[in-house]
Chain A
């Protein structure tokens, strides 16, 4: 009986501790962001790693998401002869919701896990300690460029994903299912607003922050050799995905 309480208390405490550590790492990163020296080259390297290298997989998922959306909504809208609304539905769901979320999840799987594994390995092989000994802040050297790259690159990837998704919807809707192309496009103009686009991009920037921060955090506090690296990599992907979906709800409720 007493053990049960102790167990519950331990879970609560470790949860709180984790949240605190995450937030502290974030604050530390913000402080180091504004302090010299600025390692521009490292930053560009992370831009390439998080952004450019994720391009292909993001485009691919965006395209297929748009295509399947068109296919699914077509069958629903056909029930009351409103097939022309497929375009607007695809465009709205891509820009507001699916574009940012799917992009963020893909980048989490590709880059977030890699960040956790890389920093985790550096931790267990004591390279991070070596950095500290050389009077280089590991937070500034490792964490700041990755977070900044995530915040900047996710919106850009999302834009491309949105665009490719709408193109995919167009291909399926107009070329395969035979919806009138003029109607398809005009309904997009009629229903999609600039705010839809921008709010999706704000979300994406938040997701970029979450996935890089969680990756860095899990890597940074890795314990226990190769096994620990594997564990923290898995944990970072799970935690980042969960947080992304949770924040998605909160941000949507706030913005729309």
Chain B
């Protein structure tokens, strides 16, 4: 302990406090959604009484997002929902405003729709909405329905009530009896009709026979035409024969082709090898054969294509960003600049490559020990130290990182030496606190650097902190600024740059 007891005490205190902060923030954010990951959907309602921003959105009673914005558009309420990316909604989904609890908290309930409809994408509209029955309206409707029912029962009782009604009923029943007897009779008389229909059918088939008999002449003509066609075919075959004979005798270009011995031999070989290839293919021998004949090939091909598709769509999710910033070191008055390329294969992972222009450069220390002897007496040893500083040394960093909630743990090569870093994001990523440790060699204490970035705009930020604070010689505050571009910005810039039109 000794000299370090003070620092260690403070360090432990800070460490425990940050641990508690991390625990509390992760606990509090548990189950809540980060707004950056959500995708918006739009719904139009006739009436959104009592619905507030940030009200929950549920599917089957499970919270999947929140109400992001409510506004008026053409006399209807336009509600923008933000949904979790893993929640899919089909085009036939229905949105409803519902009430929960005694206090009447409103929330939006949507059904996810049926799979046969296409999925809704960002900013698309859920077409079917239901504002839900207003309690007052509902009561009014129920009242009028009850009135109607009352009227009906009254008239029914008027019709059927009393001795008159009874008589009517009896009449009705006797009528029904008569009707059924009539029906029976009708069926009986129809038996004869069925017999007639069968007789008609027989006559019809006989007629068809007659028709084919009358057309015999036509059929004969068709056969004669066929004969003529065959004769013509015979003639052309004769001509072919002549041609082939000529070829056999060595006349005409075709003949040369055929009678040339070498060529013939070559042709023969080609054909025979073609034959074997075709055979092999048919039997499933060789790669090509396997490829064509086997079922697994087709499956593999399918899988490959699927994988390729997945890969390509993943490529789409890749996010790239470029960060350029400079730091002014207040102690030495030097400026240190960084250019960083960051690639994010998924939301919580990244690789980053930086090139750093360090004015301090790299310092190399070499020490040699020399001995000498005075007057054959004792040996004296002295140390010769050489410091070599390369000016304006370029360094590079290559890091891999992972994000947990608001914390980022990263590591790899930092400024041309092994190191680790820890970042902490605050206020929707508008502030970033960072700490990194690298250059763990024996010469001096490890290079520790801590500071913070404030993102003023989307692409501009300020940075400040303390560099190398473990080393009393090189310790320095720094302030600086930087620019930050993502691939989206670059896309935007490229898209909006006017291109010269080709001639």
In the complex, which residues of chain B have a beta carbon less than 8 angstroms from the beta carbon of A197?
Answer: 21, 24-25, 28
Give complex CA distance A156, B13 in Å. 8
CA distance A160 to B427 in the complex (A): 20
Q: Which of B217-225, B451-459, B469-477, B484-492 makes up part of the contact surface? A: B469-477
Q: Which of B2-10, B109-117, B244-252, B254-262 contacts A (4 or more CB under 8 A)?
A: B2-10
Q: How many A-B residue pairs have CB under 8 A?
A: 58
Q: Which residue of B28, B331, B472, B477 contacts A189 across the interface (Cβ within 8 Å)? A: B28
The chain A residue with its CB closest to the CB of B10 is A47
Kindly identify, within residues 137 to 159 of chain A, every residue whose CB is under 8 Å from any CB belonging to chain B.
156-157, 159
| Interface contact B27-A189, CB-CB below 8 Å | yes
Cα distance A198–B431 in the bound complex, in angstroms: 12
- Are the C-beta atoms of B20 and A40 separated by less than 8 Å? no
Q: How far is the CB of A111 from chain B (nearest CB, A)?
A: 14
Categorize the interface residue count of chain B: 20 to 34
Whether a CB of chain B sits under 8 angstroms from the CB of A194 is yes
* Chain A 176-204 residues near chain B, CB threshold 8 A: 189, 192-194, 196-198
B17 within 8 A of A: yes
> What is the bound-complex CA distance between A185 and B9, given in angstroms?
32
Q: In the complex, A163 Cα to B73 Cα: how many Å?
A: 46
Q: Quote the shortest CB–CB distance from A161 to chain B (angstroms).
A: 10
Given contacts A48-B10, A156-B14, A198-B426, contact A163 B28 (CB under 8 A): no
Which chain A positions have C-beta within 8 A of B20? 159-160, 163
Minimum CB–CB distance for B57 against chain A, Å: 16
Please measure, in the bound complex, the distance between the C-alpha atom of A38 and the C-alpha atom of B465, giving whole angstroms: 13
* Complex alpha-carbon distance, A156 and B18, angstroms: 7
- A120 at the A/B interface (Cβ < 8 Å)? no
Structural contact, A51 and B10, CB atoms closer than 8 A: yes
The answer, yes or no, to whether B16 is at the interface (CB within 8 Å) is: yes
Closest residue to A192 on the B side, CB-wise? B28
Is B29 close to A, CB under 8 A?
Answer: yes
Other-chain residue from B13, B17, B475 in contact with A40 (beta carbon distance below 8 A) = B475
Could you say which residues of chain B place their CB within 8 Å of the CB of A5? none
Q: Interface centre among A55, A156, A160, A194, by most B CB within 10 Å?
A: A194
Q: Report which of A44, A47, A48, A159 forms a contact with B21, defined as CB distance below 8 A.
A: A159
Q: How many residues of A contact B (CB 8 A)?
A: 25
Check: B196 CB closer than 8 A to any chain A CB: no
Q: Is A130 an interface residue (CB 8 A)?
A: no
Binary flags per residue of B21-51, CB closer than 8 Å to A gives 1, else 0: 1011101111110000000000000000000
Across the interface, A157 reaches (CB within 8 A) one of B17, B31, B32, B472, namely B17
Q: Is the interface of A mostly helix, strand, loop or mixed?
A: helix
Interface residues of A in 45-72 (CB under 8 A from B): 45, 47-48, 51-52, 55
Enumerate chain A residues within 8 angstroms of B18, measured Cβ to Cβ.
156
- A156–B17 touching, CB < 8 Å: yes
B475–A38 CB distance below 8 A: yes
Interface: B330 (CB within 8 A): yes
- Residues on B with beta carbons closer than 8 Å to the beta carbon of A163: 20, 23-24
Cβ-defined contact, B28 with A160, below 8 A: no
Tell me the bound Cα distance from A9 to B294 in angstroms. 104
Q: Per a CB cutoff under 8 Å, which of A35, A44, A52, A193 touches B28?
A: A193
Which of the listed residues B6, B9, B13, B469 has the most CB atoms from chain A within 10 Å of its own CB?
B13
Q: Which residues of chain A come closer than 8 Å to B16, judged between CB atoms?
A: 160
A194 CA to B426 CA, complexed, in Å: 10
Contact in complex: B6, A189 (CB < 8 Å):
no
Which of chain B's residues have a CB closer than 8 A to the CB of A47?
10, 13
Within 8 A of B (CB), among A9-40: 34-36, 38, 40
CB-CB under 8 A from A97, the residues of chain B are: none
* Binary A-proximity of B390-430 (CB < 8 A = 1, otherwise 0): 00000000000000000000000000000000000011000
Provide the residues of chain B in CB contact with A189, threshold 8 Å.
27-28, 30-31
Complex: chain A residue closest to B469, CB-CB? A40
Cβ-defined contact, B477 with A34, below 8 A: yes
Asked whether any CB of chain B lies closer than 8 Å to the CB of A83, the reply is no
Task: Return chain A residues, CB-CB under 8 Å to B331.
Answer: 36
Q: For B13, what are the chain A residues with a Cβ–Cβ distance below 8 Å?
A: 47, 51-52, 55, 156
CB B221 to nearest CB in A, in angstroms, measures 94
Q: Quick one: given A159-B24, A189-B28, A198-B426, are A45 and B17 in contact (CB under 8 Å)?
A: no
Which A residues lie at the B interface, using CB under 8 A?
34-36, 38, 40, 44-45, 47-48, 51-52, 55, 156-157, 159-160, 162-163, 189, 192-194, 196-198
Identify the B interface with A (CB < 8 A).
Answer: 6-7, 9-10, 13-14, 16-18, 20-21, 23-25, 27-32, 330-331, 426-427, 469, 472, 475, 477
Show 5 residue pairs from A and B whose CB-CB distance is below 8 angstroms, ordered by the A residue. A35-B330, A52-B13, A163-B20, A197-B24, A197-B28
Question: Apart from A193-B32, A197-B24, what are 17 other A-B pairs with CB-CB below 8 Å?
Answer: A40-B469, A40-B475, A44-B6, A44-B10, A51-B13, A52-B10, A55-B13, A156-B13, A159-B20, A159-B24, A160-B17, A160-B20, A162-B24, A189-B27, A193-B28, A194-B29, A198-B426
